[in-house]
């Protein structure tokens, strides 16, 4: 089976069926994308989050795990905030723990790993933000900072 980018309905199903999400590359720095995504998901979703970073003890008052295999519960979505060159190793861990979905954040894609993930039975999403996708389907893009009030595709000349 080869990789094909999942459509919106497929991504929605991955999110609706998930309960536990591991944030790999989670940071305690409020200016990092993983921190912003985590705060949103904690406040606006039904997910139980598990943070993975070998260099931290806690994030947002929650325990941080050194690796995916250290998490004591089954993981539905592995949401990856690591550089593209780290993706194969994180995918190996996701396969080993029998995660259901391997989700690479905005700006991250790896075609070879996507193919390998699908071959191992995982759903794979590349170059998409879990927070943006969740907010889009939950009707909360304004909460995610995307409600500009502009309903035209034409540029506002007063800006």
In a domain, 2, yes or no: no
- Contact between 102 and 81 under an 8 Å Cβ cutoff? The reply is no
Identify whether 86 is part of a domain.
yes
pLDDT at 148: 45
**156 in any annotated domain:** no
pLDDT at 151: 41
d(CA 55, CA 51): 11
Domain of residue 32 covers 8-138
Q: What per-residue confidence (pLDDT) applies to 158?
A: 43
Any idea of the CA torsion for 91, 95, 98, 101, to the nearest 10 degrees? 40
Domain holding 48: CATH number? 3.40.50.720
Residue with tokens 């539905």: 76
Does any domain span residue 83?
yes
The pTM of this model reads 0.87
In a domain, 149, yes or no: no
In this structure, is residue 1 part of a structural domain? Answer: no
pLDDT < 70 regions, the chain: 1, 140-159
Q: pLDDT tens-digit profile of 8-40?
A: 999 999 999 999 999 999 999 999 999 999 999
**In this structure, is residue 148 part of a structural domain?**
no
How many CB atoms are located within 10 Å of the residue 71 CB?
19
pLDDT at position 2, please?
A: 82
- The SS3 of residue 63 is strand
Q: Do β-strands 123-125 and 77-80 pair in parallel, antiparallel, or remain unpaired?
A: unpaired
Query: Has residue 103 been placed in a domain?
Result: yes
Number of independent structural domains in the chain: 1
């Amino acid at each position: 089976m080869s990789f094909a980018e999942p459509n919106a309905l497929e991504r929605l199903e991955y999110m609706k069926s998930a309960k536990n999400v591991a944030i790999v590359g989670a940071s305690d720095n409020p200016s990092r994308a993983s921190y912003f995504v985590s705060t949103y998901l904690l406040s606006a979703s039904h997910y139980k989050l598990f943070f993975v970073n070998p260099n931290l003890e806690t994030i947002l008052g929650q325990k941080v795990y050194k690796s995916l295999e250290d998490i004591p519960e089954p993981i539905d979505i592995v949401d990856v905030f690591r550089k593209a060159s780290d993706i194969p190793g994180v995918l190996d861990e996701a396969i080993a723990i029998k995660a259901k979905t391997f989700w690479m954040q905005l700006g991250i894609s790896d075609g070879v790993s996507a193919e390998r993930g699908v071959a191992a039975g995982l759903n794979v999403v590349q170059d998409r933000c879990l927070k943006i996708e969740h907010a889009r389907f939950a009707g909360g893009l304004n909460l995610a900072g995307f409600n500009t009030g502009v309903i035209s595709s034409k540029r506002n000349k007063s800006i």
